[in-house]
Each structure stands twice: as C-alpha cells, then as structure tokens.
C-alpha cells in the first residue's frame, strides 16, 4: 500500500474549506492508502497562540477529524509535538534549505511584502519543518489544498538533495490536489479563499457554526446578475463556488447539477446548497459531540503517537547515521 500523509494546524475554527479541500479527501483515501494524519501544532506556534485556545483547538481538531469520518482503525492520527523526531529532522532539513528557497515561499513573501512586523524566524523556516513531517514517514503522496503545493515541491527538492548527497534515504513525495474543491472561496468575496482568518464571518462557514446560521450565509452568498447556473470561475465565481460546495457534499458531478438547473434561477439553487450544508453540519456536529463525550480523543492520540513515534524514530536513526551523527 502506498503511504500518504497530511496535517492541519490547530489554529482557529475549521471551515468548510478545510473539510472540502482537505479532510474529505483524507476520508476518501483511508481505504486505499496507509494514511497518516496529524495535528500540526508546531506549525501553529509560528504565529503567537493563546495557550487555552491552542489546547481547545487541538482537541477540537482531533474530534472533528473523527467526526468527519476518519477511522482510527485505518488511519494513524497523531500530535506533532508528541513525536520529537519532527523537531530533530526539522533542524536537519533547515540546514539543507537555502535562504533563497524560503524567501520564495508565498506565505512568507506575502507577509513580508505587506511589511508585517513580528514575523518570526519559525514562520520563515516552517517549510523545512513541513518537509521533515513528510519525509519522516516516507510518504508517497501528500493531499493538500492548492496553497500548500509549493511546500510539497520544496520537500521534493530537499529529499532529492539529501538522497543525492548521502545516498538513497527518502521517498520523494508528490502533492495530491483534488480536482473539485481544491479551493473553496469566501461567500462574500468569491475571488478570495475561504479562510479561518477571514474577518467577515458571513464569508466563512465554520464546521461548528449553528447549521441555521450557515444556511443563511449560503442564502446571502454573493453571486452575479447573469442568472444562469453554470460553472465559470472567471465571470461567475460565486456560483462556481456554490457548485463546488454542493458537488463536494453530495458527490453529484457539477455537470449533472447544472443540467438540473437549466432554465431555473439562483434562488432555488441556493436553497439546495443551503439545505445540503445544513444537513452536513447537523450530522457532523452530532458526531462531534458524541466523540468528545466518549473519551475517544485521548485514546486515539495515545495510540497514534505510539505508532508514529516508532516509524519516525527508525527513520531519524537512519538519517543520523548517514550524516555522521552516529559515531559508534
Ligand atoms: P489551513 O487552514 O491553512 O491550516 O489549511 C489546512 C488544510 O486545508 C490545507 O490542506 C489547506 O490547503 C486546506 N484548505 C484551507 N482552506 C481551504 C479552502 N478555502 N479551500 C480548499 N482547501 C483549503
Ligand atoms: N503547512 C500546512 C498548512 O498550513 C500544514 C502542514 C504541516 C502539513 N505539515 C504538513 C500539510 C505536512 C501536509 C503535510 O496547512
């Protein structure tokens, strides 16, 4: 079985974008891949975090992974900071990454260009840590949203660089970007990504939003005056976004949906999307509450950490031997 790994930062509340662009794909992959999914809390602290919130977000994220359908019997779910090998290989990777490579990473570049103050060194070097996350487990594939592709490409370069210098050590991973829903956009500004950090709450649907409020957000989503339900991301980004959402939640193809809406207006279409979102959130939140009550979160993480640590330790030993850290 091919290996696959991905992680999400426990910062802020998860959005429908996170579900459609990331978690939903993990659930689909769990039967056909040896899947590792982790909570990227070491990445979270590249930006200052409140302790109480970080703890809550971490627990919530694990519970939401499970509520979305990740099965701990099939997937290894673990907490990054509990597997110390990430920090160790992270440093080794930092030392084989060039400044120029990190300067080209858009996440850093955008912040620097905006003249943001208080950018930490961690935020700058975090793509090297991300490479370590992936390479520790010899992942063949890394399912991520399109915004993370650049980091996986850097990981490939670092893996190849290391293999070239020290001999075959790491699997060179490939990013896996889903076709539909690779990017979900803001409901209020459909040219911008739906994001945890968006200021206008009407633009974002949180997985823990009251389903009735979520319904209203869909009904008031920005569209256009063309009046035809069709997928055209340039001239009708709002409708294209709603089509992506509906198609992702119901598994009906966009083609089939637009066919059903030939000659019909936006009102009816929005209602269907709103109902699909309502139903999805209602089910998800019921699972989430049950999981938090059950004690499953602690059990899953304890077992996952153990499994991940074993693999990571083995890989790190090999790396240390290759670079000359093991002297006896
Ligand atoms: P983040 O919320 O930035 O930590 O991202 C976690 C994962 O969710 C990454 O794989 C992202 O690419 C994905 N993701 C976040 N927001 C969106 C979005 N609006 N559309 C699609 N994928 C997203
Ligand atoms: N950087 C990713 C994000 O911001 C999270 C992440 C950290 C990740 N390590 C990873 C994703 C390894 C995939 C694989 O969303």
Digit-coded pLDDT (tens) for 33-75: 999 999 999 999 999 999 999 999 999 999 999 999 999 999 9
Q: Is the CB of 193 under 6 A from ligand 1?
A: yes
Q: Tell me the average pLDDT across 7-25.
A: 90
> Among this protein's residues, is 111 annotated catalytic?
yes
Q: Is the CB of 151 under 6 A from ligand 1?
A: no
Global pTM reads 0.90
Q: How far is residue 319's CA from residue 317's CA, in Å, rounded to a whole number?
A: 5
Please give the pLDDT value at position 180: 62
> Among this protein's residues, is 193 annotated catalytic?
yes
| Of the candidate ranges 46-55, 107-116, 265-274, the one whose mean pLDDT is the lowest | 107-116
* Protein residue closest via CA to atom 17 of ligand 1: 17
> Among this protein's residues, is 55 annotated catalytic?
no
Q: In what helix (H) or strand (E) does residue 6 lie, and over which residues does it extend?
A: strand 3-8
Q: Which residues line ligand 2 (CB under 6 A)?
A: 5-9, 40, 43, 130, 133-134, 142, 144, 148, 151
Digit-coded pLDDT (tens) for 69-98: 999 999 999 999 999 999 999 999 999 999
Q: Tell me the average pLDDT across 289-310.
A: 97
Digit-coded pLDDT (tens) for 192-235: 999 877 778 899 999 999 999 999 999 999 999 999 999 999 99
**pLDDT grade for 177, boundaries at 50, 70 and 90:** confident
**Order of strands across the sheet with 34-39?**
75-79, 34-39, 3-8, 141-143, 174-176
Cβ atoms within 10 Å, residue 211:
17
Q: Is the CB of 147 under 6 A from ligand 1?
A: yes
**Nearest Cα residue to 3 out of 147, 132, 174:** 174
Percent over 70 (pLDDT), the chain: 99
**Nearest Cα residue to 5 out of 131, 140, 188:** 140
**pLDDT grade for 182, boundaries at 50, 70 and 90:** low
Q: Tell me the average pLDDT across 277-284.
A: 98
* Protein residue closest via CA to atom 3 of ligand 2: 8
């Amino acid at each position: 079985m091919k290996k696959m790994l991905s992680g999400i930062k426990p910062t802020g509340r998860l959005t429908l974008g996170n579900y459609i662009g990331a978690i939903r794909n993990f659930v689909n992959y769990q039967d056909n891949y040896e899947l590792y999914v982790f909570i990227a809390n070491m990445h979270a602290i590249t930006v200052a975090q409140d302790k109480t919130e970080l703890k809550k977000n971490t627990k919530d994220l694990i519970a939401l992974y499970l509520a979305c359908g990740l099965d701990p019997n099939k997937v290894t779910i673990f907490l990054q900071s509990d597997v110390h090998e990430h920090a160790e290989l992270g440093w080794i990777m930092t030392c084989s990454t060039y400044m120029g490579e990190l300067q080209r990473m858009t996440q850093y570049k955008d912040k620097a260009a905006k003249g943001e103050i208080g950018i930490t060194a961690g935020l700058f070097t975090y793509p090297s840590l991300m490479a370590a996350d992936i390479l520790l487990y010899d992942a063949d594939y890394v399912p991520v949203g399109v915004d993370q592709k650049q980091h996986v490409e850097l990981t490939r370069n670092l893996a190849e660089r290391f293999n070239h210098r020290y001999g075959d050590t790491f699997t060179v991973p490939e990013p896996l970007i889903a076709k539909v829903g690779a990017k979900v956009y803001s409901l209020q500004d459909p040219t911008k990504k739906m994001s945890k950090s968006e200021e206008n709450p009407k633009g974002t649907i949180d997985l823990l939003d009251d389903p009735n409020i979520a319904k209203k957000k869909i009904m008031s989503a920005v569209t256009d005056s063309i009046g035809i339900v069709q997928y055209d991301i340039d001239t009708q980004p709002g409708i294209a976004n709603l089509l992506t959402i509906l198609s992702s939640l119901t598994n009906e193809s966009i083609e089939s949906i637009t066919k059903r809406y030939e000659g019909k207006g936006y009102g009816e279409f929005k209602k269907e999307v709103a109902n699909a979102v309502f139903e999805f959130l209602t089910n998800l939140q019921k699972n989430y509450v049950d999981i938090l009550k059950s004690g499953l979160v602690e059990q899953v993480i304890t077992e996952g950490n153990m499994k991940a640590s074993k693999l990571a330790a083995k890989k790190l030993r090999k790396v240390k031997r290759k670079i000359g850290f093991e002297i006896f």
